[in-house]
């Protein structure tokens, strides 16, 4: 799908990877609306306040976008939160409220947005030579495949989102809607800004090449490529410089 003249929703668009996606889609000529908890989207993008973990909030935000722009053609299903905790320690079992919160945002939230947006996409007029009605790009993680020690809830959510990418592609193919995903490795965003530098160095040293953090613009470039390429469907693209995380970092083992 050519983004020019089309309408995109980017969840979590007021920070990090979402911002990178918004910049790319704006440059490609799309109208872009960020759905986020608070903050400001990049200049040129619109904003609707939304908590993706609250279905009423998602429903209302999607309606506002349709009221303003008429149709929604693209979704970067990107909002997410981090969190580290082992399933249990000698002192206590893991905090299940924190576990549920990560699942509520990263998995249920992504599903709620995909459901309400794709329902609207189904009503779009077909466009382009393939008659596409919409494209969805989920933001997964390399934790979808190699969750490290302490990443249980995050891994559960991101592994499920990677698996759902093919299922949603199958659910929506009859309507001319494609669903793909990006699975980033370590990316330089506010989500990871407070991590200890020695931990970050160790994570990046696990890259094959190049040994550096990814950028929001690199995420945006892959998301745009997936949107533009009709034959890619049901695919999860790793964006990780060849990293295959081990069970734990030495930093984590020393904690
Ligand atoms: P970030 O913290 O910079 O941005 C996340 C955005 O999501 C924020 O604007 C935040 O307000 C928003 N958000 C959080 N909870 C929300 C909610 N309930 N409703 C609506 N918006 C909400 O983080 P980021 O690094 O840009 O992460 C973006 C996505 O990329 C996340 O899904 C994250 O899991 C994934 N990811 C990040 C990395 C990384 O290294 N940074 C690696 C792999 C995957």
Q: What is the pLDDT of residues 123-138, one digit of tens each?
A: 999 999 999 999 999 9
Percentage above 90 pLDDT, the chain: 97
Q: Which comes out higher in pLDDT, residue 158 or 250?
A: 158
Distance CA 66, CA 186 (A): 34
Contact 239, 150 (CB under 8 A): no
| In the chain, beta strands by DSSP E | 7-11, 31-36, 46-49, 74-77, 134-139, 177-184, 236-239
Query: Residue 212 has what pLDDT?
Result: 98
Instruction: Decide if pLDDT at 255 tops 80.
Output: no
DSSP character at residue 85: B
Residue reference for tokens 């149709």? 71
Among residues 104, 124, 100, 102, the alpha carbon closest in space to that of 113 is found at 104
Q: How many CB atoms lie within 10 A of CB 85?
A: 17
Per-domain residue ranges for the chain? 7-81+93-245
Cα–ligand 1 centroid distance for 176 (angstroms): 28
Ligand 1 atom 2, closest CA: 191
Query: CB neighbours of 157 closer than 8 A, spacing ≥ 6?
Result: 80, 102, 103, 105, 106, 107, 110
Q: What is the pTM of this model?
A: 0.98
pLDDT at 222 over 90: yes
Q: Show which residues are catalytic.
A: 154
Question: Ligand 1 centre from 192 Cα, in Å?
Answer: 10
Say if domain 7-81+93-245 classifies as CATH 3.40.50.300.
no
């Amino acid at each position: 799908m050519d983004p020019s003249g089309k309408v995109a929703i980017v969840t979590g668009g007021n920070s990090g990877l979402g911002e990178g996606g918004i910049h790319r889609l704006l440059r490609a000529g799309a109208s872009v609306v960020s759905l986020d908890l608070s903050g400001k989207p990049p200049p040129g993008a619109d904003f609707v306040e939304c908590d993706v973990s609250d279905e009423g909030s998602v429903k209302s935000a999607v309606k506002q976008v349709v009221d303003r722009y008429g149709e929604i053609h693209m979704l970067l299903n990107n909002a997410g939160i981090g969190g580290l905790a082992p399933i249990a320690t000698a002192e206590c079992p893991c905090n299940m409220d924190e576990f549920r919160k990560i699942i509520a945002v990263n998995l249920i939230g992504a599903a709620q947005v995909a459901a309400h947006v794709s329902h609207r996409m189904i009503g779009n007029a077909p466009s382009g030579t393939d008659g596409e009605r919409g494209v969805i790009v989920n933001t997964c993680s390399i934790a979808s495949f190699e969750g490290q020690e302490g990443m249980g809830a995050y891994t559960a959510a991101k592994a499920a989102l990677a698996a759902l990418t093919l299922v949603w592609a199958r659910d929506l193919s009859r309507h001319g809607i494609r669903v793909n995903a990006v699975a980033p490795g370590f990316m330089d965003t506010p989500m990871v800004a407070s991590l200890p530098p020695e931990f970050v160095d160790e994570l990046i040293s696990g890259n094959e090449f190049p040994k550096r953090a990814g950028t929001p613009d690199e995420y945006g470039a892959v998301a745009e490529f997936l949107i533009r390429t009709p034959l890619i469907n049901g695919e999860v693209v790793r964006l990780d410089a060849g990293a295959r995380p081990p069970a734990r970092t030495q930093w984590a083992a020393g904690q």
